[in-house]
Structure 1
Amino acid sequence: ALLPGGRPSTDPRAREEVAAAWGVAELPHRYGRDTGQIVEAAARGELQALLVAGVEVADLPDPARARAALAEAGFVVSLELRPGEVTELADVVLPVAAVAEKAGTFLNWEGRVRMFEAALKPDQMTRRLAPTDARVLQMLADAMDVHLGLPDLRTIRAELDRLGAWDGPRATDPLETAGALPRPAAGEAVLAGHRLLLDHG
């Protein structure tokens, strides 16, 4: 798992830097649940609520289990641009702006920062501008009396700048080897998109 700036969460110095930036004594020593563990816990009825942002059940390795997880979770909040299976099963759907409608920052898996500006400005929009994911998460946190202190993009970028890039040892690559490449039969093709490429190495 990576912390901001590509810091490995297993490195004590990396954890200290992020804890100091976030104004907490220390970061938790245990990892939280990964996606598969969240789905399993929700499907077993162990989670009171789920917050699903920009993920559809078809994005997950076992869509049927994901549907069961959404059905068994006590309360489901979806942050989404368009209707889908998750929004159909959600108790609350909060609209968020599309990438083209907002400025933001992408952090790749190595912790490199790529900032981007909105391609469509508010005066070019034919509908009311939806809030960014970050703004919605900030509002939800405020409502739960958890103060992130990141009310806008400028503040978020300033925090990333203060943390800076990680100059220590990098996280090691996963030990799993990539699976064999599929061999299409006559008249077939192999389709690849970013989700398949990420999921299957």
Structure 2
Amino acid sequence: MRKQSLIVFYLWFVNVLVYYGLSLNISDFGMNIYLTQMIFGLVEMPARTITLFTLNRSRKISQLAFLAVGGLACLLTIFIPSDLPVIRTILAMIGKFGITASLSIIYIYSAEVFPTVIRQNGIGVGSMCARTGGVLAPMMYLLRSISPQAPMVLCGLCPLLGSGLTLLLPETANKALPDTIEDVEGSSLREEDGSHL
């Protein structure tokens, strides 16, 4: 349960860090900031809508895939020269799409990972970790003094790490919600020793 909790808290943190990091970084993509802001706003509608269709199939794969899409797109922007602002903006838009979808999923996923007895506390601590990410997002761009690509490297690597960590979480789609910590610990032990087969 401790391992799952730390992973969920990290996912909350990284989702909000990158979400606000991208939103506050629109001037770095080289296009008109008002147009870029409008595009970033519009991309949230399909991102939130697509999760309605993916969530019922798999919480785990949805979270993992959207984090990977967001992280890879952000990471790819560092390889695009500054004289191609449209391509950089499209990649950043894909990154924002992935992170927005991932952020929508973490609310539901974390509520299902935590058992009933600590669900409220778990989501509360997760939300606190998210606010920490939101506070650090504007400061992330102080890294530009080290390297102009550093903020986007961070926006790319953090979600990719989160995507990998999501593999360690249980699948919760179409499963009964755990009521006690023992329910979670017991199901984890059964999965590890293969006795559920």
TM-score by length of 1: 0.23
Give the greater-gyration-radius structure (CA): 1
Q: Which has the higher contact order (CA 8 A, sep 6+)?
A: 2
Higher strand share: 1
TM-score of the superposition, structure 2-length normalised? Answer: 0.23
Q: Structure 1 or 2: larger helix share?
A: 2
